[in-house]
């Protein structure tokens, strides 16, 4: 698979570039093109071998060991062998691990709360698996082994992987103290001299294992996870009240015990974990099919403010499981043959401060989604979602008070209709609306989307036209878009403007496919898009993507 992407309007980071070796600070070192190459050969339940190369926009393709640049900016390799005697998995290179409910080992991308209200609360123990994505963090690099001993399964992980970080040298720090890091950088971007200076400055060494017992009847399982992590320099964050309990130091360890149990129509699961700081993470839940037309899910979680787990993907309102506790209840009903109802209610609190929330806070969220499909040619849905959270607000007419919290209520409504108008023509219409209620005023945003897909012989052509009006960043709207193969797209929109794209898929043969996408966002309320080095002087942003995918067998 070979992919090229580019934004064609010139961003400020590429403007006025010095032709000499020394570029002005903040200017991008490379071209605006995004290149991605991936090769993989695999046989299910036997082996997988692959590598990928990627260059992000603004990065260079060069060979310079001094700046840790070896051709493409990011390279990844894996070889995984399955079922070799009693060895369940042997993996080398880049890989991920998933055991329990993700408090210690969480692999892959997990959707948060949404229209799927049952299975989203539970994580699966998929074990060791090769890493094949282009994100430059969140994976192990080294060796992983998994072996079966009758009803016992044991896995061990060894990893030494570079990470980006802000290194403060001794001369810049306090005299007499060794160098230290002020924080991680997970963007994977190395476009400017300052970003390049952070590349692979942090070396992370990990040792982990998993032991799981599953009885012959396979109705329950009990497992134990452990992960030790060591950095080459300590991490010391800038002292702020809200990050008092964030991870600091040179090493961490986190251990957990997890289980799941099947009883009639109930599947119970849970995991308890503790990190080196003695902070704890707990997850307890169940999913159940009470009736062929009634499914329920329940999840209780509590993550201490000093619980530190670098590879966790456990269910949470925050981006990571720390400083949070809450209860989630989901339901799925099928009252009529063609009608499905999904709903959830989630109540949560944050016992300690957060970034831009300078006091303990709380919130709640509810959603109900109706899906109606009278036949195979028509499907429609209506979704209502309401969320209330507390955050910092300045007192009206008074100087800013950083510890003043106020509830912010956001209401979302979306409607969707998809019609198979003809055997070769599919039409989709969608409307989104939201309202943000602040103590002093309210704002509203909306978006209307029309999409069509035409299929003829070896061709498939999809197109979309959308209008949006979201006056503030709080009113931003998200709309899932079709994209080229193996590319995920949920852009956000705020301001006033239009969004258009065309996606072409041509099947040259059974083994060769070509994808091309053109997309443009045009704004009516601004003459400058984005800011800083990413700024575009103009009202339009045009992007293209081209993918060539070849199967050899």
pLDDT of residue 25: 63
**CA angle, corner 171, sides to 165 and 176, nearest 5?**
105
pLDDT of residue 503: 98
Of 518, 523, 515, the C-alpha closest to 539 is: 523
pLDDT of residue 18: 53
C-alpha dihedral sign at 208, 214, 218, 222: negative
Q: Report CA dihedral (8, 14, 18, 20) to the nearest 10 degrees.
A: -80
pLDDT of residue 20: 47
How many helices (DSSP H) and strands (DSSP E) are in the chain?
1, 32
Q: Report CA dihedral (96, 100, 105, 109) to the nearest 10 degrees.
A: 60
pLDDT of residue 403: 63
Q: What is the mean pLDDT of each run of 10 residues along the chain (553 residues)?
A: 97 72 72 96 94 96 88 96 94 97 86 88 93 93 96 97 84 62 87 91 96 93 97 89 91 97 95 98 97 96 97 93 97 96 98 90 97 96 97 63 80 97 96 95 97 96 98 95 92 96 97 98 96 94 98 89
How far apart CA 418 and CA 409 sit, in angstroms, is 30
pLDDT of residue 116: 92
Q: What is the DSSP letter of 396?
A: T
Contact of 547 with 514, CB cutoff 8 Å: yes
pLDDT of residue 294: 97
Burial class (CB in 10 A: 0-12, 13-18, 19+), 146: buried
User: Which residues on adjacent β-strands are paired with residue 529?
Assistant: 536
pLDDT of residue 355: 83
Q: Encode pLDDT of 131-141 as tens digits.
A: 999 999 999 99
pLDDT of residue 170: 56
Q: Encode pLDDT of 440-474 as tens digits.
A: 899 999 999 999 999 999 999 999 999 999 999 99
* φ/ψ of residue 66, rounded to 5: -65, -35
* Lookup: tokens for 254: 């986190």
Contact of 365 with 349, CB cutoff 8 Å: no
Q: pTM for the whole thing?
A: 0.92
- Give the contacts of 341 (CB within 8 A, at least 6 positions apart): 331, 332, 333, 334, 335, 368, 369, 370, 371
**3-state SS of 272-324?**
EEEECCCCEEEEEEEEEEEECCEEEEEEEEEECCCCCCCCCCCCCCCCCCCCE
How far apart CA 12 and CA 27 sit, in angstroms, is 8
């Amino acid at each position: 698979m070979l992919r090229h992407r580019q934004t064609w309007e010139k961003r400020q980071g590429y403007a006025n570039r010095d032709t000499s070796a020394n570029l002005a600070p903040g200017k991008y070192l490379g071209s605006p093109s995004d290149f991605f190459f991936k090769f993989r050969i695999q046989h299910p339940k036997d082996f997988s071998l692959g590598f990928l190369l990627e260059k992000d926009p603004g990065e260079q393709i060069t060979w310079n060991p001094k700046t840790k640049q070896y051709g493409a900016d990011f390279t990844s390799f894996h070889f995984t062998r399955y079922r070799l005697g009693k060895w369940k998995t042997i993996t080398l290179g880049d890989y991920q691990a998933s055991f329990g409910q993700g408090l210690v080992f969480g692999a892959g991308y997990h959707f948060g709360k949404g229209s799927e209200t049952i299975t989203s609360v539970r994580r699966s123990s998929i074990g060791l698996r090769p890493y094949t994505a282009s994100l430059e963090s969140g994976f192990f690099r080294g060796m992983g082994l998994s072996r079966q001993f009758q009803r016992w399964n044991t896995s061990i992980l060894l990893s030494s992987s570079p990470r980006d970080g802000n290194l403060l040298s001794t001369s810049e720090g306090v005299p007499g103290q060794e160098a230290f890091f002020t924080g991680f950088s997970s963007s994977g971007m190395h476009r400017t001299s300052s970003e390049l200076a952070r590349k692979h400055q942090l070396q992370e060494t990990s040792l982990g294992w998993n032991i799981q017992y599953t009885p012959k009847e396979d109705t329950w399982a009990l497992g134990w996870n452990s992960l030790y992590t060591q950095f080459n320099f300590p991490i010391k964050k800038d002292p702020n009240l809200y990050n008092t309990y964030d991870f600091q130091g040179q090493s961490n360890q986190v251990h957990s015990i997890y289980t799941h149990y099947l009883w009639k129509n109930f599947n119970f699961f849970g995991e308890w974990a503790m990190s080196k700081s003695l902070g704890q993470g707990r997850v307890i839940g169940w999913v159940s099919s009470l009736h062929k037309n009634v499914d329920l899910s329940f999840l209780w979680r509590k993550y201490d403010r000093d619980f530190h787990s670098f590879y966790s993907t456990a269910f949470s309102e925050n981006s990571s499981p720390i400083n949070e506790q809450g209860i989630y209840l989901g339901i799925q009903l099928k009252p009529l043959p063609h009608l499905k109802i999904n709903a959830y209610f989630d109540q949560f609190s944050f016992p300690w401060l957060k970034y831009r929330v300078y006091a303990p806070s709380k919130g709640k969220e509810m959603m109900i989604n109706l899906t109606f499909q009278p036949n195979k040619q028509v499907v429609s849905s209506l979704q209502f979602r309401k969320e209330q959270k507390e955050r910092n607000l300045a007192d009206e007419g008074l100087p800013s008070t950083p510890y003043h919290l106020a509830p912010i209520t956001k209401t979302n409504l979306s409607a969707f209709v998809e019609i198979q108008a003809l055997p070769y023509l599919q039409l989709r219409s969608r409307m989104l609306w939201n309202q943000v209620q602040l103590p002093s005023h309210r704002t509203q945003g909306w978006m209307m989307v029309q999409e069509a897909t035409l299929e003829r012989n070896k061709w498939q052509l999809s197109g979309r036209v959308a209008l949006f009006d979201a006056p503030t960043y709080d009113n931003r709207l998200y709309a899932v878009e079709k994209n080229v193969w193996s590319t995920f797209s949920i852009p956000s929109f705020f301001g006033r403007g239009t969004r258009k794209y065309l996606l072409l898929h041509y099947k040259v043969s059974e083994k060769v496919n070509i994808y091309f996408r053109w997309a443009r966002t045009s704004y009516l309320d601004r003459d400058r898009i984005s800011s800083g080095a990413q700024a575009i002087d103009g009202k339009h942003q045009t992007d293209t993507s081209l993918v060539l995918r070849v199967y050899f067998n």
